[in-house]
Amino acid sequence: MIGGVDVVIPAVGDGAALEACVRIVQRCWPHARFEDVETGEKYAWYGDIPLGRVRELFAYSDAQAEAAWDADRPDSPPNSMLYLILSPDFVTVVIDDPNTAEMRAMLESFRTILSPIKWMDLNIEARAA
Amino acid sequence: MNQQSAAILEQLLRDNGLGWMIDRPESKDLALSSLLQQLDKVGAEHSRRIQTNVSFTPQALATVAERNPHKIQAFLQALAITRSPEMLVMVWRILQGLSIRKVEMNYQELDIFRLTIVLAPPRLGQAEEESYHSQDINDAALVRHFAITTINGKPLFEGFFPLWKK
């Protein structure tokens, strides 16, 4: 992942945003596996992830990719891992190459699914004003 | 009414910006009692449909909220929308990770409303599908909680999210 590309998506970076992204990952990579970057805890199914507590998450395309990344093998296949980082005003997706067809589709899904969640939160601010 | 359960439910509702559900002039206790009964019905409906027991007690919901607060917020918002245990089980199943396979809504002014939502585990086929039905037009509001996106230009409802936050 060294040398990866940061893609910054405006959004409220909370558990709901992470769930939205992870659901897309699981859909595109049905055998995806996940890892809490801060604790190292691993999850074979996104439903097991404590989404309200995780701020940074690795998503591997499958168990093989996870093993390759864990072993820090130089032959880890490109775009076999996403690094999702939550911030108050955005979600950052770190990937090897955002220009492949698979990654373009996934990033577009992230942007679209996160967009209404962001606007919902702005509605709250409007309601409170 | 179990006072401990009522107190936990009240706290959950207030923590999630839903205190208005119980702040009724007639009686807060009545409202809490009604909601606790509703949660019991959801548990019974879940057991009947899914053949597994899941607790919908306020204590159980509070435990889930520690790990996934947005899921409980979404579920409680659904509790404010619908009186249908079937629809609330549908919501819960999406929160557990099921995919929204199909949505059919049939509406005719001053005549009919029918909503059918079909769910399925993301990795399994048609045999695992679960269908949920409603004829209560208020349940149309549940669909607003589905996140909307596309994959390769194809339409996708994904997940059930809180519509507003605290």
Q: What mean pLDDT value characterizes chain B?
A: 94
Which ipTM value was assigned to this complex?
0.89
d(CA A100, CA A108): 12
Mind telling me how many Å the CA of B132 is from chain A's nearest CA? 21
Would you list which residues of chain A are within 8 Å, Cβ to Cβ, of chain B? 12, 14-16, 19-20, 23-24, 26-28, 30, 45-47, 50-53, 105, 108-109, 112-113, 116-117, 120-121, 123-124, 127
b/e A1-13 (16+ beta carbons within 10 angstroms → b): eeebeebebebbb
CA angle B36, B38, B39 (to 5 degrees): 65
Alpha carbon distance B132, B153 (integer Å)? 27
Query: Of A16, A77, A72, nearest to A49 (Cα)?
Result: A16
Taking only the tens place, the pLDDT of each residue in B51-73 is: 988 999 999 999 999 999 999 99
Q: How far apart are CA B54 and CA B34, in angstroms?
A: 20
Query: pLDDT digits over A56-94, tens only?
Result: 999 999 999 999 999 887 777 889 999 999 999 999 999
Q: Is the dihedral of CA B162, A32, A37, A43 positive or negative?
A: positive
In terms of CA atoms, which chain A residue is nearest residue B64?
Answer: A50
pTM of the model: 0.91
Q: C-alpha angle with apex B19: A89 to A11, nearest 5 degrees?
A: 10
Q: Which of B97, B161, B164 sits opposite A124 (nearest CB)?
A: B164
Our CA-based measurement puts residue B61 at a distance from the nearest CA of chain A, in whole angstroms, of 14
**Of the candidates A110, A26, A14, the residue with the CA atom closest to the CA atom of residue A55:** A14
Task: Report the range of poorest mean pLDDT among B1-5, B81-85, B126-130.
Answer: B126-130
Query: Mutate which of B54, B66, B67, B101 to test chain A, going by most A C-beta atoms within 10 A?
Result: B67
- Under an 8 A CB cutoff, do A127 and B164 touch? yes
